[in-house]
Amino acid sequence: MSANCPAAAVVVLAAGEGTRMKSSTPKVLHEICGRSLVGHVVAAARELDPRELVVVVGHGRELVTAHLAQADPAARTAVQEQQNGTGHAVRMGLEALGGGGRVDGTVIVVCGDTPLLTGETLRSLATTHTTDGNAVTVLTAEVPDATGYGRIVRDEATGAVTAIVEHKDASDVQRAIREINSGVFAFDGQLLADALGKVRTDNSQGEEYLTDVLGILREAGHRVGASVAGDHREIAGINNRVQLAEARRSLNDRLLTEAMLSGVTVVDPATTFIDVTVTFEPDALVHPGTQLLGATHLAAGAEVGPNSRLRDTRVGAGARVDNTVAEGAEVGEQATVGPYAYLRPGTQLGVKAKAGTYVEMKNAVIGDGTKVPHLTYVGDATIGEQSNIGAASVFVNYDGEAKHRTTIGSHCKTGSDNMFVAPVTVGDGAYTAAGSVITKDVPPGSLAVARGQQRNIEGWVARKRPGSAAAKAAQAAVAEPDSES
Ligand code: UD1
Ligand code: CA
């Protein structure tokens, strides 16, 4: 084991059922901040750069295995057919690594349901373990309420850890101990394999307890150590949806704190939610009620919200996005979006472009300086630079069978209430008249008019609606044309 490789192997325990989630989804696949619970644990473990990473799966194993193949293709899985305890689970994990379950070097064991655990804490555990020359080092924490946890029993004289006693097996005196087992350990791989062979099942749950390994190693004269976590919240395991929400809140706070310390203004952290994969540049600003998800990126001075949900969306420097839902979109520098816009995948707004109020776009490339200000659907289109699309226009992209594309050039001015029936092209510098249904290509520089001619039938109201309020108003207007305006 080299110095920059603090762990030879990491074993992630994720075979349990998670009954208290009351869910058809396996517990470790529930998500917070854009990643599954087990995904967070695996990502933290990866910071140790282990040679092997194995996830022990059991309940819902098909789903968990399929998920891991996506989230971390290099992770191995080991099946634990029956949940015979944490010791048994680690044994299954190590056996899947070959070599008769004997790993040379440090083995780290973590649970798949502790998403707040950081790589930093794991590194410091591994370092303590190696520096102190321990056979096993347990990560512990002082918690306000230790109910349900395994208690850390220490020698009164030396303070050395002597055993971990499960809550169900603990005496009243032991239950008063507030230092608990986080479920995270560093082991010497060889000694762990020996000790796991000696773990018995004579406890209240009839299981192979991983925690018994401590006593076994200690009695054999090996060093047993503990590393106390700085923040007990980091080791919190998720068992139900209340804890899931608490963990999400906690992680979200951590992410927002990092963002703010790196120069992002978050107006209201209490109503702002971000995924671990979101990135920012300094002086980005996020207004209340905003969710930033997936690979969303806010460049310097970009301003988003209030009340916006952006997924996998890049917002350029100085752009303004207000009351908007966007997914898979790219917003150019100093572009403006909303209020009340919906940008769907494949939308690309150029520099200083605009997608205004009640505007929906999909698969649309909008050139620099081009504006689509009001009440418009732009689907499957390319628009050049410095063009203006009139209010209430529809890019009619679907003929009931297939989608087609509309191309509009640069410096075009299209009238309000236009229908662009794709496939159709409007050339550079062309105009279209209000109310036009554009079905044929418009040459550059032309004005296209595609609507019925207006016909005024004079005196119709007086003849057909005699005595009505309309007829009286019309009669007065004709008598005194000046007062009309
Ligand atoms: C375990 C510890 C306890 C510690 C607590 C921290 C043991 C005996 N007890 O208790 O000291 O304070 O975690 O949260 O280790 N698992 C398997 N296969 C099994 C059993 C469990 O994969 O056969 C997995 C579970 O999915 C879970 C983890 O191991 O991710 C912990 O198991 P769980 O049953 O939750 O243990 P606790 O009773 O909470
Ligand atoms: Ca647990």
The answer to whether the CB of 171 falls within 8 A of the CB of 151 is: no
Q: Which ligand is nearest to the CA of 15?
A: 1
* For residue 423, cis peptide bond before it (omega within 30 degrees of 0): yes
Mean pLDDT along residues 131-145: 96
Q: Determine how β-strand 413-414 pairs with β-strand 348-349.
A: unpaired
On the question of pLDDT at 3 being above 50, the answer is no
Q: How far is the CA of 85 from the centre of ligand 1 (A)?
A: 7
Non-local (6+) Cβ contacts of 354 within 8 A are: 335, 336, 337, 370, 371, 372, 373
Q: Confidence band (pLDDT; 50, 70, 90) for 480?
A: confident
The three-state DSSP-derived secondary structure of 165-178 is ECHHHCCHHHHCCC
For ligand 1, what atom is nearest to the CA of residue 83? Answer: 23
The answer to whether the CB of 116 falls within 8 A of the CB of 233 is: yes
pLDDT digits (tens, 9 = 90+) for 39-94: 999 999 999 999 999 999 999 999 999 999 999 999 999 999 999 999 999 999 99
Mean pLDDT along residues 401-416: 98
Mean pLDDT along residues 336-359: 98
For ligand 1, what atom is nearest to the CA of residue 57? Answer: 22
Rounded Cα distance between 330 and 265, Å, is 21
On the question of pLDDT at 102 being above 60, the answer is yes
Establish whether 374 is a catalytic residue: yes
Task: List residues near ligand 1 (CB under 6 A).
Answer: 13-16, 56, 58, 80, 83-86, 88-89, 111-113, 149-150, 164, 166, 180-183, 209-211, 237
Rounded Cα distance between 416 and 391, Å, is 5
Q: Which ligand is nearest to the CA of 204?
A: 1
Q: Confidence band (pLDDT; 50, 70, 90) for 2?
A: very low
440 DSSP β-pair partners: none
On the question of pLDDT at 4 being above 60, the answer is no
Rounded Cα distance between 183 and 193, Å, is 18
Q: Which of 40, 374, 404, 411 is catalytic?
A: 374
Non-local (6+) Cβ contacts of 69 within 8 A are: none
For ligand 1, what atom is nearest to the CA of residue 182? Answer: 6
